[in-house]
Chain A
Amino acid sequence: MKLNVSDLSFSFDSSKVLKNISFETAEGEFLGLMGPNGSGKTTLLRCLTRYLPARAGAILVDMKPLHTMTDREVASTFAVVPQSSSTDFPFTAKDVVLMGRIPHMQSRLSSSRREDADKALAAMTVSGCAHLANRSFSELSGGERQRVVIARALAQEPKALLLDEPTVYLDISGQLEMMDLVAKLNREESLTIIAVLHDINLAARYCDRIALLNQGKLEVLGPPNDVLRPEVILTVYGVDVTVRKDPLTHDVFVMPRSPTVLSTKIGRRIHVLCGGGSGGPIMRALVDGGYSVSVGVLNVLDSDYESATDLRVPIIAEVPFAQISDDMHAENLKRIDETPIVVVTHFPVGPGNFRNLEAAMYALKAGKRVYILTGGGGARIDFVGGKADAFIGDLVDAGAVKIKSVTDMMHIIGE
């Protein structure tokens, strides 16, 4: 099925919920609809099913205008799977699936019950719930009920499946089973899928394209890699995120960092000496706390380098796998000169980055406050034969303060 939506608008009373939405879907596409609460995703689905009347614009199904179709034609074009379904009345699972045959009812008097029953059973087999046929619908688990509802949707023999947050009430295995089932239907039955999804990572993993709605407007539409970029998510959701690629699938995934937009800068400067992934939490805490953070000498490809990049912290960087060069060391010391506080994290020390400890000594001599994050008190990861541990001892003698945790550190720096 090919769907064309052009210039679609919808408003409740005076408030505009959908503003000039235009998009197309290709045959057999898996389209994710995303956006913050109240951005109009569900309303868009309801316009497609005609549960809400579109105020302006056109919706074409295989070039046929939606508004010229009968209720039953619409129901055999789009089948809907809602967030959850429940009833107080004693229907069996099979009763619920048979409801999907209503759009194909020939006449009220004829009873093609045999054919309906066969199609219902086939649908239940496809969605993996045939064994539940005679169970009471209200006694099924959330995941089982969603399977039954998918079977009902299949019994409608639709051209597209519209899902409205189908995994919201399911546990993690239920979510994956549900999405795998939908993906299988998309692949094997070549059903077009339009799914409202809240979980960005689930969407990135399953959707061909993602449409991101924001305040009733279509913000972006494209493959997950194009849509799920930190700056896009910051504008639409107001959340700062880190976007990475799953090393096993190369699907993008998104990690939220702070629930709010960056807090106002306090502006106090702090320099962090770190490496080997030890600096992430303190850098994040300092950035969230509004400090003006810089970080010193890191090799490109070090995971702290990536964290610092994500946090948009200025980095004094050395080429990958190389020793800290004289130039970069000098740069580091210059930065320390401009900074009243230096934090040394619990980083692994080897010949390549020993100069970061020397930089800390330089800071102490220059009268800066130096804090050493001990990372729970374990021994320093010393790859230089005890030299590093001894040097730390010297730093403490020279006035550096040892602090156990990031929380304590933030507390002390804040005073």
Chain B
Amino acid sequence: MSGIGKVAANSRIRRSPVRFLCLLAVLLLATFFLAIFIGAKGPIGSDDIDEMRYSELFDAILDKDSERLSYSTTAIVWAFRIPRVLLAGLVGASLACAGTAMQAVFRNPMADPFIIGVSSGAAIGASSAGLIGLTVVVGSFTKPMLAFACAIVTVFFVYRMGTIRGKVQVETLLLSGVAVAAFLGAIVSFLMYSAGQQFHELLLWLLGSFAEPRWSYVWMMLFPALAGVIIIFLYGRELNALLLGEETAHNLGANPETLKKLMLAVAAFVTAGAVAFTGIIGFVGLIVPHMMRILVGADHRVLVPAATLFGASFLIWADSIARTILPGEELPVGVITAMCGGPFFLYLLRRSRTGSVIS
């Protein structure tokens, strides 16, 4: 395990966690509205002279059917930017929240939401859908559905491997997850190798992207994400106890077996949903819980909402950068999450470890 746990949390934030959570909520709201103004067609981040004006966008947001605006403006705002921002927020929140739960279940700050094979399972589903050409034949929902199904099947398999006599053995589960991910990863690599011209599209999916936002995706993400976050939050006290060991959790009246199974199921479901629609966006589920733990401490009743709110903001920002940083082109959002998150995380880590001690 890493020594991050020894880091003492920031004292001012820890004394008034509710104020900090409100701050994160305000940040998310501001992020949401600001991100709608960002895009290749302007007003922020434009590479076009013929850009949209702020006032036009305001009008479009306020009134979807306004007659004073051109069709393209309302279309960009309502069919493209708003669902995209919402989707990024939902996915960010889901991954960060699921990551927090996984780190508690595995009592290991290196765990992430993909640890029990969600990403590799989804990758198999998505790549086979793309390669066989099912997308063309059956319809555009095939890829997310197949990715989701394969992710759930993989998680179930890993879970079975890591369960001995009805008890979830955390270490076995971890190793099974790693082994299955390696095996499926090899198959994905093979598929990609033989993919030829579809290689680029597949790679883009593997790195994660919000390039095809749809309202239907938003609606389909909304329920599992909300339910997942709420369930994980409600079990915050038990997750705290679990971090001191399964026997301690049991002695404190929190049934560790039920808790582990519930958390694994919720996290797998939420993560599989996120991956199915947007591909494998790394880093958010691993680093956001870390960052928040440095700031608010390990109490899950604060940590879970903090990670959820910040995860959403973080991914919206990452996506905003991804779609504007290169003129006329989009980067996979996974590239941005790693590029921005890495240094910021290192900064937080160094700062908290050099000037630690909660007073």
Chain A contact residues, CB within 8 Å of chain B: 46, 49-51, 71-72, 74-76, 78-80, 82, 85, 87-92, 95-96, 98-103, 105, 108-109, 134-136, 138-139, 152, 156
Contact B7 A90 (CB under 8 A): yes
When chains A and B are docked, how far (Å) is the Cα of A76 from the Cα of B252?
A: 8
- Chain B residues in 8 Å Cβ range of A138: 5-6
When chains A and B are docked, how far (Å) is the Cα of A85 from the Cα of B11?
A: 23
The stretch of B54-62, B142-150, B243-251, B306-314 in contact with A is B243-251
Instruction: Tell which of A87, A103, A109 touches B244, judged by Cβ atoms closer than 8 Å.
Output: A87
When chains A and B are docked, how far (Å) is the Cα of A82 from the Cα of B3?
A: 23
When chains A and B are docked, how far (Å) is the Cα of A156 from the Cα of B253?
A: 10
Contact B358 A99 (CB under 8 A): no
Contact B6 A49 (CB under 8 A): no
Contact A78 B244 (CB under 8 A): no
Contact B247 A91 (CB under 8 A): no
Decide yes or no: A91 and B251 within 8 Å by CB, A99-B241, A102-B238, A136-B357 being known contacts. Answer: no
Contact B248 A49 (CB under 8 A): no
Contact A88 B109 (CB under 8 A): yes
Contact B252 A90 (CB under 8 A): no
**3 tightest A-B contacts by CB?**
A75-B253, A88-B5, A103-B253
Contact B358 A134 (CB under 8 A): yes
When chains A and B are docked, how far (Å) is the Cα of A14 from the Cα of B245?
A: 27
Give me 14 A-to-B residue pairs in the complex whose CB atoms sit less than 8 angstroms apart, sorted by A's number.
A71-B254, A85-B244, A85-B245, A87-B107, A88-B2, A88-B6, A89-B298, A90-B5, A96-B244, A99-B237, A99-B240, A135-B358, A136-B6, A136-B357
Binary interface encoding of chain B residues 2-19 relative to chain A, with 1 for a CB under 8 A from any of its CBs, else 0: 111111110100100000
Chain B contact residues, CB within 8 Å of chain A: 1-9, 11, 14, 107-109, 234-235, 237-238, 240-241, 243-245, 247-248, 250-255, 293-294, 297-299, 356-359
Instruction: Tell which of A92, A100, A108 touches B297, judged by Cβ atoms closer than 8 Å.
Output: A92
Contact B251 A51 (CB under 8 A): yes
Chain B: interface secondary structure?
loop
Contact B298 A90 (CB under 8 A): yes
Q: Which residue of A49, A91, A100, A103 has the most chain B CB atoms within 10 A of its CB atom?
A: A91
When chains A and B are docked, how far (Å) is the Cα of A102 from the Cα of B299?
A: 13
Contact B357 A75 (CB under 8 A): no
Number of A-B contacts (CB under 8 A): 112
Given contacts A51-B247, A71-B250, A88-B108, 6 further A-B contacts (CB under 8 A): A89-B243, A91-B299, A100-B252, A134-B359, A135-B358, A136-B358
Contact B253 A49 (CB under 8 A): no
Closest A residue to B236 by CB, please name it: A108
Contact A49 B250 (CB under 8 A): yes
- Chain B residues in 8 Å Cβ range of A102: 237-238, 241, 252-254
Closest B residue to A50 by CB, please name it: B250
Closest A residue to B8 by CB, please name it: A136
- Chain B residues in 8 Å Cβ range of A105: 237
Min CB distance B137 to A, Å, is 46
Contact B252 A75 (CB under 8 A): yes
- Chain B residues in 8 Å Cβ range of A75: 251-253
When chains A and B are docked, how far (Å) is the Cα of A103 from the Cα of B356?
A: 33
Contact B1 A88 (CB under 8 A): yes
Min CB distance A32 to B, Å, is 20
Contact B5 A71 (CB under 8 A): no
Contact B8 A139 (CB under 8 A): yes
Min CB distance B109 to A, Å, is 7
Closest B residue to A156 by CB, please name it: B252
Q: Which residue of B2, B238, B241 has the most chain A CB atoms within 10 A of its CB atom?
A: B241
Min CB distance A211 to B, Å, is 21
When chains A and B are docked, how far (Å) is the Cα of A28 from the Cα of B358?
A: 39
When chains A and B are docked, how far (Å) is the Cα of A51 from the Cα of B248?
A: 10
Min CB distance A152 to B, Å, is 8
- Chain B residues in 8 Å Cβ range of A76: 253
Closest B residue to A162 by CB, please name it: B251
Contact A51 B250 (CB under 8 A): yes
Contact B255 A71 (CB under 8 A): yes
Min CB distance A162 to B, Å, is 8
When chains A and B are docked, how far (Å) is the Cα of A415 from the Cα of B246?
A: 60
Contact A92 B253 (CB under 8 A): no
When chains A and B are docked, how far (Å) is the Cα of A108 from the Cα of B247?
A: 22
When chains A and B are docked, how far (Å) is the Cα of A306 from the Cα of B181?
A: 71
Contact B9 A87 (CB under 8 A): no
Closest A residue to B299 by CB, please name it: A95
Contact B251 A90 (CB under 8 A): no
When chains A and B are docked, how far (Å) is the Cα of A102 from the Cα of B2?
A: 28
Contact A78 B109 (CB under 8 A): no
Instruction: Tell which of B108, B235, B243 touches A91, judged by Cβ atoms closer than 8 Å.
Output: B243
Contact A92 B251 (CB under 8 A): no
Contact B250 A95 (CB under 8 A): no
Min CB distance A129 to B, Å, is 15
- Chain B residues in 8 Å Cβ range of A89: 5, 107, 109, 243, 293, 298
Closest A residue to B254 by CB, please name it: A102
- Chain A residues in 8 Å Cβ range of B234: 108-109
Min CB distance A407 to B, Å, is 48
Contact A134 B11 (CB under 8 A): yes
When chains A and B are docked, how far (Å) is the Cα of A102 from the Cα of B109?
A: 23
Min CB distance B144 to A, Å, is 32
When chains A and B are docked, how far (Å) is the Cα of A92 from the Cα of B296?
A: 11
When chains A and B are docked, how far (Å) is the Cα of A49 from the Cα of B248?
A: 10
Min CB distance B282 to A, Å, is 22
- Chain B residues in 8 Å Cβ range of A71: 250, 253-255
Contact A95 B251 (CB under 8 A): no
Instruction: Tell which of B9, B247, B253, B359 touches A90, judged by Cβ atoms closer than 8 Å.
Output: B9
When chains A and B are docked, how far (Å) is the Cα of A103 from the Cα of B254?
A: 8
When chains A and B are docked, how far (Å) is the Cα of A88 from the Cα of B253?
A: 22
Min CB distance A408 to B, Å, is 53
Q: Which residue of B8, B108, B245 has the most chain A CB atoms within 10 A of its CB atom?
A: B8
Closest B residue to A96 by CB, please name it: B244
- Chain A residues in 8 Å Cβ range of B108: 88
When chains A and B are docked, how far (Å) is the Cα of A82 from the Cα of B250?
A: 13
Min CB distance A246 to B, Å, is 35
Contact A139 B6 (CB under 8 A): yes
Closest A residue to B235 by CB, please name it: A108
- Chain A residues in 8 Å Cβ range of B359: 134
Decide yes or no: A88 and B237 within 8 Å by CB, A49-B251, A80-B251 being known contacts. Answer: no
Contact B251 A79 (CB under 8 A): yes
Q: Which residue of A74, A88, A90, A101 has the most chain B CB atoms within 10 A of its CB atom?
A: A90
- Chain A residues in 8 Å Cβ range of B11: 134
When chains A and B are docked, how far (Å) is the Cα of A117 from the Cα of B17?
A: 15
Decide yes or no: A95 and B237 within 8 Å by CB, A138-B5, A138-B6 being known contacts. Answer: no
Instruction: Tell which of A74, A87, A92, A103 touches B5, judged by Cβ atoms closer than 8 Å.
Output: A87
Closest A residue to B250 by CB, please name it: A51
Min CB distance B296 to A, Å, is 9
- Chain B residues in 8 Å Cβ range of A101: 237
When chains A and B are docked, how far (Å) is the Cα of A72 from the Cα of B109?
A: 28
Min CB distance B112 to A, Å, is 16
Min CB distance A139 to B, Å, is 7
Closest B residue to A113 by CB, please name it: B301
